[in-house]
Amino acid sequence: MHPAVGASDDTTRAAAEELPGFRFVRHEELTWREVISRDDYIGRWTTVSSFLVADEPRRAEMLADVHRVLDEHVDTAGRAELDLPHLTDVYLYRRA
């Protein structure tokens, strides 16, 4: 649903590139889940930068899209609480 992330998420690709003065050591992916209420999930959407910079008609469209997905998707339809998966990329570098 995030407008900045498409079918493939390249938002962390730059982190694996060489950093001046540092040596890449390793990369770890941490997966975890958060139980969040539907209302809190929708509220979180109102803090996303692409939402904040959008004009009112686009904000209304984005919120309508979020509601539609929550109402129609088999994993979220009719649920007051959602099981929200997260993926955190951790990169370790050492001074060169």
Q: State the SS3 of the chain.
A: CCCCCCCCCCCCHHHHCCCCCEEEEEEEEEEEEEEEEHHHHHHHHCCCHHHHCCCHHHHHHHHHHHHHHHHHCCCCCCCCEEEEEEEEEEEEEEEC
Whole-model pTM above 0.75? no
The distance of Cα 9 from the centroid of its chain, to the nearest Å, equals 10
Does position 3 have pLDDT exceeding 60, yes or no? no
Cα within 13 Å of Cα(23), Cβ side: 4
Q: How confident is the model at residue 82 (pLDDT cuts 50, 70, 90)?
A: very high
Segment 48-81, tens digit of pLDDT: 999 999 999 999 999 999 999 999 999 999 999 9
